Amino acid sequence: MRVLALTTQVPFVRGGAELLAEGLVRSIEAAGHEAELVSIPFKWYPAERVLDQMLICRLFDLTEACGDKIDRVIGLKFPTYLIPHPNKVLWLVHQHRTAYDLWDSPYGDLIKMPNGPQVRQAITNADSQAFNECRSIYTIAGNVSKRLKQFNNVDSAPIYSPPFGAEDFYCEAAEDFFFFPSRLNIMKRQQLVIEALAQTKSPVKVVFAGKSDDDATRNGLKNLVRQLQLESRVTFLDAISETEKLSRYAKSIAVVYPPLDEDYGYVTLEAMLASKPVITCHDSGGSLEFVLNETTGLISEPTPESLAIAMDTLWDDRATAKQLGQSGYDRYMSMNISWANVVQKLLA
């Protein structure tokens, strides 16, 4: 088959969605098919820009290239899944969330823009049409399926994919730090972890690794660390190599990962592969599909006080942390998470 995976990317912003799209293409090729990634830049402001990009996607013709048929397209992200094709399958990473679950949340910006409500209606109408065009609908996680049902009344099935380089993760003796690998982004809630650090009773240390989406976020977090006098307990590594990432996972006591309503969250799976427990929150979304409280990690309330208690618990009890980490690894291995399974279902 000749297959195209359709996605969008905000220039210079790279995270799990980009790794997932690249992993999908590699895995389709490994299964003996031709595959390429079609990625278009995405900008969500002003609101009318979203309409322009939706129209562009509807005008694309990806039924053939150079006279040869394109057998299937796999839509991953808004608005590329609007591109018409007779054999379109949806493997949804997420919709334009500020038109749905984030509409009236503190993170919603579309609601504040002129014409925001009208643009929101156009998005929901276009999404409904696009979903009706799909021969089958899957999502990357149960949390995404839940939103799709809640806001669009569309049934779907989640298909989990493994993190990049899943076979390379390993575990070593824990050193004195928790690890939080992720883009610095308000939705990832690094600020919450820093505020929790100020509440811990033990000298907990956290290593953050990841590029910031913007200078304001990076500077705001570093200013907060200074204000709370936590300089000796917080390390910002920015972007790191895959080798260093694997080493940090391996040597950490646990992974702290409390994002707000994450779609899926490769960080959780990477921690499990490294046999490390995960500290997350009740509203963290996708990670809750993998973290079992007091079995493979700890689930706290999304408050500095509650998160601090969880961090103190594993900092002070390394034996329990090790046990939870091993249970996380065992749970991952029992879930049959593989690219072969992803490809088999998306190309069926």
pLDDT (tens digit, 9 = 90+) per residue, 9-29? 898 888 888 999 999 999 999
Task: Give the pLDDT confidence score for residue 101 in this predicted structure.
Answer: 94
Rounded mean pLDDT, 149-158: 96
8 Å CB contact between 281 and 302: yes
Q: Cα–Cα distance between 262 and 287 in angstroms, integer?
A: 7
3-state helix, strand, coil in the chain (%, to 5): 45, 20, 35
Under DSSP, the state recorded for 140 is S
Task: Give the pLDDT confidence score for residue 15 in this predicted structure.
Answer: 84
The answer on pLDDT for 167 being more than 90 is yes
Question: Cβ atoms within 10 A of the Cβ of 86, count?
Answer: 11
Angstrom distances, CA of residue 80 to CA of 37, 90, 120, 243:
11, 10, 17, 33
Question: Cβ atoms within 10 A of the Cβ of 335, count?
Answer: 13
Q: Cα–Cα distance between 147 and 94 in angstroms, integer?
A: 9
Q: In 3D, which of 295, 279, 251 has the Cα closest to residue 287? A: 279
Chain mean position to CA 219? 23
* Residue recorded with tokens 């799709």: 148
pLDDT (tens digit, 9 = 90+) per residue, 288-300? 999 999 999 999 9
pLDDT (tens digit, 9 = 90+) per residue, 38-92? 999 999 999 999 999 999 999 999 999 999 999 999 999 999 999 999 999 999 9
Q: Cα–Cα distance between 287 and 285 in angstroms, integer?
A: 6
Task: Give the pLDDT confidence score for residue 271 in this predicted structure.
Answer: 98
Task: Give the pLDDT confidence score for residue 14 in this predicted structure.
Answer: 84
Task: Give the pLDDT confidence score for residue 26 in this predicted structure.
Answer: 96
Phi-psi region of 261 (alpha: psi -120 to 50; beta: other; left: phi over 0): left
Q: Please report which residue ranges of the chain form alpha helices under DSSP H.
A: 16-30, 47-59, 116-133, 142-152, 190-197, 215-227, 242-251, 266-273, 304-316, 318-334, 339-346
Q: Cα–Cα distance between 175 and 204 in angstroms, integer?
A: 11
AA letter at 187: M
- Which residues are CB-contacts of 199 (< 8 A; sequence separation ≥ 6)? 304, 305, 307, 308
Residues facing residue 39 across a β-bridge = 7
Task: Give the pLDDT confidence score for residue 213 in this predicted structure.
Answer: 84
Task: Give the pLDDT confidence score for residue 16 in this predicted structure.
Answer: 84
pLDDT (tens digit, 9 = 90+) per residue, 235-283? 999 999 999 999 999 999 999 999 999 999 899 999 999 999 999 999 9
Angstrom distances, CA of residue 213 to CA of 98, 210, 331, 338:
17, 9, 32, 30
- The pLDDT mean for the chain works out to 96
Task: Give the pLDDT confidence score for residue 13 in this predicted structure.
Answer: 84
pTM metric for this prediction: 0.90
Q: Cα–Cα distance between 67 and 99 in angstroms, integer?
A: 38
Task: Give the pLDDT confidence score for residue 141 in this predicted structure.
Answer: 96
- Three-state secondary-structure class, residue 242: helix
Q: How would residue 142 be classed by pLDDT, with cut points 50, 70 and 90?
A: very high
Q: Cα–Cα distance between 187 and 201 in angstroms, integer?
A: 26
Question: By CB neighbour count within 10 A (0-12 exposed, 13-18 middle, 19+ buried), where does 19 fall?
Answer: middle
Rounded mean pLDDT, 185-204: 97
8 Å CB contact between 163 and 270: yes
Task: Give the pLDDT confidence score for residue 342 in this predicted structure.
Answer: 97
Q: Cα–Cα distance between 343 and 348 in angstroms, integer?
A: 8
For the chain, the straight-line distance linking the first and the last C-alpha, in angstroms and rounded, comes to 11
